[in-house]
Amino acid sequence: MSKIVIICSSSDPASSNIASRLLELVEWEAQGDIRFHRSYCMLCIEGELVGLRNLEYLLDRMGLSPRLIVFASRHRSKEAVAWLGGHFTGVVQEGSFELSRPAPYALKRLLMALQRNSPSGFRISGEATHHGPVDLHTPSLFAEIGSCEQHWIDPAAGTAVARAILELEGAREHAGEPVLLGIGGGHYVQRQTELMLSRPVAFGHMFSKYQASMLSIEAMKKAAELSGASGVYLDGKSFRSEERRRLEEIASNLDLKVMSTKDVRAL
């Protein structure tokens, strides 16, 4: 049966916080180690979520065939900013890349719900694609609380993320909106976030300006295929002219329309 599978980790305080809030917000039916609510099922594991491998094989052995996988997780940063958000997974390095399949409409829905439900003082944004799991064929995303212990265990932050996850059943409402790759900006992809929240557009894999130089034509092609992207958004303030021309040439060779902030805002 097709499900939205929520993966939590007992060793992650933010993940445990979100799991506890999910259990408080709605009624769940326990079947062994798995809990079910409508089209959701929640599974708690031990250990780090980012290093998971062969997850789909394990879910299949449990009789689960998810249409979306959501990882409830902490986000850590040196600045210890109060933050809520989400991102897709993958690793882009010089000469190599591994990318999982993103869930563009689900991320948009998550951020919209976080914007409505977040406690005072928390920033909301997406993030550039980073870390694992990198081998997922099922659309997936991380839903996170950042950025330090104080925030990870904050019940209001956990409730906001839990509520946002429970709204992901409605992600298909945005189907039909164009999906773009996002390239440029900082790690928190603020411009892509603003565009998602204000215009009829969704983003698949997003790469910061620091990752852009490592994007080969093969990596961008794979990212576009996995995302179902019809175009590429280039953050005009992020690139020198030579790098911009290189990215535009790759996009042209892949028949991907290049769009600026002005272009997206005109949608």
- Domains recognised in the chain with CATH numbers: 1-175 (3.40.630.50), 176-267 (3.40.50.10700)
pLDDT for 84: 98
What is the rounded distance in angstroms from the CA atom of residue 202 to the CA atom of residue 193? 9
| Mean pLDDT of all residues in 16-35 | 96
Closest by CA position to 17, among listed 81, 74, 70, 84: 74
Alpha carbon dihedral 211, 212, 215, 219, in 10-degree steps, equals 80
pLDDT in tens, 43-57: 999 999 999 999 999
Residue 1 has pLDDT above 90, yes or no: no
Q: What is the mean pLDDT of the chain?
A: 96
Closest by CA position to 199, among listed 185, 179, 227: 179
Can you tell me which residue has the tokens 């998810």?
Answer: 66
pLDDT for 130: 97
pLDDT for 2: 60
Give this prediction's pTM: 0.97
- 257-259 vs 231-234, strand pairing mode: parallel
CA distances from 266 to 173, 235, 256, 262 (A): 21, 15, 18, 6
pLDDT in tens, 220-239: 999 999 999 999 999 988 89
pLDDT for 189: 97
Residue 108 has pLDDT above 90, yes or no: yes
